[in-house]
Amino acid sequence: MKIYIRDRILWGLQIGGEGARAYNLNKLWLWTPIKYSRKRYRGLMARIEREGLVQRVIIDGLVNYRLAQKGKQKINQSFPVLNNKNEAWDGFWRLVIFDVAEAERQKRDELRRELVKMGFGRLQNSIYISAFEFQPQLNTYLETQGLTSKAMLLEAKQKYLGDPVKLAAKVWQIEALSKGYQEIMKKLTTRFGIKESARREEWFKKIYEDYLKLAVTEPWLPKNLLPQDWPGEKAKNYILRSGVIRE
């Protein structure tokens, strides 16, 4: 999934407690790609500040940023799965079943990508499943793409689809996500072994990049659908401690 550099910054701020934390300008730079220059980064920050996506905060004479309300709306619009965060599960699965002809393959592939952005997982090639209520964006998307007659939206009780934790693990590849988060935490515990500033900075950027790749594919499922030892929240806290400057 392609992530624009602006969205990397908004994700970084979103991860910090729904944007309530302020990130130091230099630490926030770690969310940009490895080859991205500081000059371009400062220009980007100035631009998204003018657009009202972030708020500048001066702490101890240093420039910090936090996510503005407009920025929260923007990142939730680009990645609607974030609207599901911290939602409790009501015991129902939501399914989208679609039948889009090969002649409209591009529309079909785009539909799959949009469903993943909304937190759906692939149960079968043309059946996607979610633990959350259908978002208004889904109906809007189907209407604008002319797919309303080619997709069915259904609800199913938990008991009809088997053990919910096992189903979630299969659909969203929870084990692979878990291993990814664990690897990030393992790497962060060795960060002090790199003494050279430039190398340490580059190393942090790679870690942030790896974390972001996991975070944007995570369905943000309710806790009762995840393994008891789910490391997602712990990995996020590791990232916060390595990048956030203060509340």
At 189-247, the pLDDT tens digits run 875 566 777 788 888 899 999 999 999 888 999 999 999 999 998 998 888 887 543 33
Indicate the pLDDT class of residue 167, thresholds 50, 70 and 90.
very high
Q: How far apart are CA 33 and CA 5, in angstroms?
A: 8
**Contact status, residue 77 vs residue 117, Cβ threshold 8 Å:** no
Tokens of 179: 């291993």
Q: Which residue has the higher pLDDT, 63 or 19?
A: 63
Q: How far apart are CA 232 and CA 168, in angstroms?
A: 15
Q: What is the Cα 132 distance to its own chain's centre?
A: 16
Q: How far apart are CA 210 and CA 177, in angstroms?
A: 11
Pick from 45-59, 107-121, 182-196: least confident: 182-196
The mean pLDDT value of the chain amounts to 88
Q: Reply yes or no on whether the pLDDT at 115 is more than 50.
A: yes
Q: What is the Cα 19 distance to its own chain's centre?
A: 14
Place of tokens 């970084």: 12
Q: What percent of the chain has pLDDT over 90?
A: 59
